[in-house]
Amino acid sequence: METQSSIPFLLRISSIHVGILRSDFLYDHSMRITFMGYINGRMRGNVRIIFLCVVSVNFGVGRAAMVMFRREFGIVVMMDILEVACLILVTGAAGYIGSHTCVSLLEAGFDIVAIDNFANSKPEALSRVQEITGKTFSIHSVDMLDAKALDAVFAEENMEAVIHFAGLKAVGESVAQPLRYYENNLVSTINLCKSMKKHHVNKIVFSSSATVYGAQEQVPLREDMPIAPVNPYGQTKAMIEQILRDIAVADDQFGAALLRYFNPVGAHGSGRIGEDPQGIPNNLVPYVAQVAVGKRAELTVHGGDYDTPDGTGIRDYIHVMDLAEGHVKALSWVLNHTGAEAFNLGTGKGSSVLEVVHAFEQASGVRIPYHIGPRRPGDAARSFADPSKAQQVLGWRATKTLDDMCADTWKWQKQNPNGYGE
Ligand X SMILES: NC(=O)c1ccc[n+]([C@@H]2O[C@H](COP(=O)([O-])OP(=O)(O)OC[C@H]3O[C@@H](n4cnc5c(N)ncnc54)[C@H](O)[C@@H]3O)[C@@H](O)[C@H]2O)c1
Q: Where are the beta strands (DSSP E) in 142-266?
A: 161-164, 203-209, 255-261, 263-265
Active site residue 420: no
Q: How many residues does the chain have?
A: 422
Query: Which residues inside 287-326 make contact with ligand X, applying CB under 6 A?
Result: none
Least Cα distance to 147 among 196, 113, 181, 112 occurs for: 196
Which of 56, 104, 121, 332 is the binder for ligand X (CB under 6 A)?
Answer: 121
Q: How far is the CB of 385 from ligand X (least distance, A)?
A: 12
**Residue closer to ligand X, measured from CB, 70 or 327:** 327
Amino acid identity for residue 31 in this structure? M
**Residue closer to ligand X, measured from CB, 100 or 203:** 100
Residue 169 within binding range of ligand X, rule CB under 6 A = yes
Which of 10, 64, 67, 145 is the binder for ligand X (CB under 6 A)?
Answer: 145
User: How many angstroms separate the CA atoms of 416 and 402, rounded?
Assistant: 21
User: How many angstroms separate the CA atoms of 8 and 332, rounded?
Assistant: 7
Binding mask 336-355 for ligand X (x = CB under 6 A): --------------------
Strand order in the sheet with 314-315: 351-352, 314-315, 382-383
Q: Which residues contact 233 (CB under 8 A, 6 or more apart)?
A: 168, 169, 170, 171, 173, 174, 181, 185, 209, 211
Which of 56, 90, 113, 116 is the binder for ligand X (CB under 6 A)?
Answer: 116
Residue 95 within binding range of ligand X, rule CB under 6 A = yes
Question: In Å, how far are 20, 35, 64, 125 from 69, measured between CA atoms?
Answer: 20, 21, 9, 70
**Residue closer to ligand X, measured from CB, 285 or 299:** 285
| Stretch binding ligand X (CB under 6 A), from 141-149, 172-180, 193-201, 361-369 | 141-149
H or E, element range at 20: strand 9-27
Which of 220, 264, 346, 387 is the binder for ligand X (CB under 6 A)?
Answer: 264
Which of 85, 94, 205, 285 is the binder for ligand X (CB under 6 A)?
Answer: 94
Residue 213 within binding range of ligand X, rule CB under 6 A = no
**Residue closer to ligand X, measured from CB, 85 or 398:** 398
Which of 119, 147, 149, 215 is the binder for ligand X (CB under 6 A)?
Answer: 119
Residue 267 within binding range of ligand X, rule CB under 6 A = no
Which of 47, 89, 97, 221 is the binder for ligand X (CB under 6 A)?
Answer: 97
Alpha helices in 200-283 (DSSP H): 232-250
Which of 27, 51, 118, 420 is the binder for ligand X (CB under 6 A)?
Answer: 118
Q: Which residues contact 294 (CB under 8 A, 6 or more apart)?
A: none
Residue 235 within binding range of ligand X, rule CB under 6 A = no
User: How many angstroms separate the CA atoms of 356 and 370, rounded?
Assistant: 12
H or E, element range at 315: strand 314-315
Question: How many H-runs (helices) and E-runs (strands) does the chain carry?
Answer: 12, 18
Residue 96 within binding range of ligand X, rule CB under 6 A = yes
User: How many angstroms separate the CA atoms of 245 and 258, rounded?
Assistant: 9
Residue 117 within binding range of ligand X, rule CB under 6 A = yes
Selected catalytic residue, list 96, 213, 233, 261: 233
| Stretch binding ligand X (CB under 6 A), from 36-44, 94-102, 309-317, 368-376 | 94-102
- Which residue of the chain is nearest ligand X when measured via CB? 95
User: How many angstroms separate the CA atoms of 57 and 31, rounded?
Assistant: 5
Which of the residues are catalytic?
A: 233
Q: Which positions touch ligand X (CB under 6 A)?
A: 92, 94-98, 115-121, 143-145, 165-169, 184, 188, 207, 209, 261, 264, 283
